[in-house]
Structure 1
């Protein structure tokens, strides 16, 4: 019995030890299988915040795209806006400069007109008094004074007729108006938002073109006041349009960027009327004003010069003295009349006004033809908006604009109606 108890105890202990060892091993395995997922969970991909990493990659790609050459040229940003504001400040300054100088040159015209007429009439009066005086010292003094005043008036007239103050003032008025238009365009561009570098370049070109068309200084860059041929004023940059391939544009389609075949035909007829009626008429009137201004500009100094010679010869014996007296008095009076006609009526200003009006119609021609030359309507200005602009520039409603195009297509060059109802 003792042997049996001992063997059973040994057997139980061995079994318990084996069970415990197996449980121990199983526990290790269980712990291992349990601990491994915990350790893996600590280094899993969600723990590395893969979403943020992808967002960083996407942000980096978008930044590289924004810094690409195409976006550097066409993109919007703080630098582009700063450039536009710099141009806007320069344009506002030019508006003030041209306005002030225009006022100054208007004062020049009135002051010089009054001064020269006063000199001329005073010289004529002295020449007349010297002719009827008995001679001697007083007559000689009057003759000398009259001659000197006529010479001074001749020199002043030559300078004034060369620079044409009334024409200069009209140039500055036109420049002020056009710079204000450009100022409004830039402000509109900024208000709409999303400006590009190409817009900055366009505004810079417009500013420089206006500076060239209406210079501020007189010496060296002054516009020719008596040109050989009358040409329209040009104050806009030359448009360089890229040649694009033909698009799949159906002429009968009514909603392709606002353009259709009917609108194209209408614009072509409007251009035809502007060219043969409005622009041609103002060039013709400008040529007449230029001829009159040339005649008056030459006549004034010639008359004062002859009057100076007559005043110097007053009191000569025989018929020479009588003729000299008539020349000295009548020459001065006629010179005052000519000077008043030229600068009082501001013939130079009238010529510049006609030239500017012809330039306005030339600009309209180029704008319409430039849109029509563009074969891809998507690259044109929106047709409906463009039609409204043309109507407003000509002082016509859309129905009147279409009626004008219909009349032009029917009558051709025999049309008796002008395109513009404004001027």
Structure 2
């Protein structure tokens, strides 16, 4: 019997050890962030080592290796900026929601207090407490509205979303540059200029460098540095370019300038004017509400009651349209869309102005990239150029099908 008991205990002990071992196994593969830096391509490392071994005096490949290291440093900074813009964009979107809720709650509370004070007058009750409470709330909410309308939180959030998207594109572009080519110092300088251009176009701080939310003139967003010629050698002496492709690019640039970019600037101007009217109306209404509440119970009681109640109600509606409808965000979206078409147009003009075709981007690849940017196939792009007319008023089709 003791032998059976010992054997049973031994089996239970072994089973417990097995279960314990199974419960603490560590997963073999951990998930990583999509913006993690890629590994240095082995062909770049090998080429550097071979060149140094064959000719120790030369430093050409050492310079290229230094350029790769610098590009990795830039990628780290870009990845950090993506997270910064993403987090701050979420924060400013929360500002919009929380401030709008708080301001409307205070405004409606002030209107209710004004209504209570107006009703109390009819019954001969004291109106000092409700009317001064209403006036105080109106004054406070007027100050909050002036600040909110000045910074336009929904527009700020859209700026940060755009910046995060553009920085992700730049991050992927640098990754591709490292993976399929031998980067040089020119590539490093270009990447630095692009990062700083995005920083200037979409600044993070509010004080001192915040973009003007109500400019006197509507302009497209610019988030790219001045373009330079690209000394990339083509597959042949023409580098994929011919007279037909050049004419096609000229027509596409004209369509983008006269239709797409012009249309978004026109819409942006209309929404900017609408946003100005709303931004002025809100504080004016709450200001009139404060004045009306202060005169409750006086000889001007009749109009004061109307102003104290109705101004608060109308102000809540105006604020809900402006900030709940995120009119500022729409203004920034149209401005960025116009900027996108300006960037595409500029890239076309840069290639066409370059007299040496071997210094242009490869014509076939450039045409395909342009088609993808506009949401078209290559054949649809060619059909658009062929069907475009010299008369701007007779143009019916826009260049982009993407947005």
TM-score of the alignment, normalized to the shorter chain, above 0.5: yes
1: distance between equivalents of 2:148 and 2:357?
A: 52
2:319 counterpart of 1:332: no
Query: Within the alignment, does 1:352 sit opposite 2:339 as a pair?
Result: no
Q: Which residue of 1 aligns with 2:358?
A: 378
Distance 1:368 1:59, change over 3 A: closer
Structure number with higher helix proportion: 1
- For residue 408 of structure 1, report the CA deviation from its aligned partner: 1.1
- The range that moved more, 332-341 or 404-413, is 404-413
1:99 to partner: Cα distance: 0.2
The aligned residue for residue 66 of structure 1 is 59
CA distance in 2, matches of 1:169, 1:80: 34
Report the equivalent of 1:396. 376
Q: 8 Å contact 2:296–2:304 — kept in the other structure?
A: yes
Moved over 3 A (4+): 58-67, 134-138, 240-243, 409-413
> TM-score, normalised to structure 1's length?
0.79
SS of 1:367's partner is: helix
Q: Which residue of 1 aligns with 2:155?
A: 167
Aligned to 1:31: none
Distance in 2 between the 1:334 and 1:410 partners?
49
Name stretches of at least 5 consecutive residues in structure 2 with no aligned partner.
1-50
Contact map agreement 1:271 1:365 (CA 8 A) in 2: yes
Q: Choose the corresponding residue for 1:257, options 239, 253, 261.
A: 239
Deviation at 1:390, TM superposition (A): 0.4
Give the alignment partner of residue 186 of structure 1, picking from 170, 174, 181.
174
1:240 Cα deviation after fit:
3.8
Q: Which residue of 1 aligns with 2:17?
A: none
| 1:273 aligned partner | 255
Q: What secondary structure is seen at the aligned counterpart in 1 of 2:189?
A: helix
Superimposed CA distance per residue, residues 356-411 of structure 1 (whole angstroms, 9 cap, x where no aligned partner): 00000000000000000000000000000000000000001111101100011466
Distance, in Å, in 1 between the alignment partners of 2:184 and 2:264 is 38
C-alpha distance in 2 between matches for 1:214 and 1:162:
17
Give me the TM-score of the superposition, normalised by structure 2.
0.83
| Matches of 1:334 and 1:177, distance apart in 2 | 37
Task: Tell me the distance in 2 between the aligned counterparts of 1:306 and 1:215.
Answer: 36
Structure 2: how far apart are the matches of 1:65 and 1:409? 56
Partner residue, 2:113: 126
2:335 paired with 1:365 = no
Q: CA offsets per residue over residues 257-276 of structure 1, 9 Å max, x none?
A: 10000000000000000000
Q: Structure 1: how far apart are the matches of 2:339 and 2:143?
A: 34
Change (3 A) 1:150 1:397: same
Match of 1:304 in 2: 286
2:394 is matched with 414
Mapped pair 1:155 → 2:148: no
8 Å Cα contact 2:155/2:332 also seen in 1? yes
* Partner residue in 2 for 1:82: 69
Structure 1 stretches of 5 or more lacking a match? Answer: 1-57, 244-253
How many pairs were matched up? 350
Could you tell me how far apart the structure 2 residues matched to 1:326 and 1:413 are?
A: 51
User: Is structure 2 residue 106 aligned with structure 1 residue 101?
Assistant: no
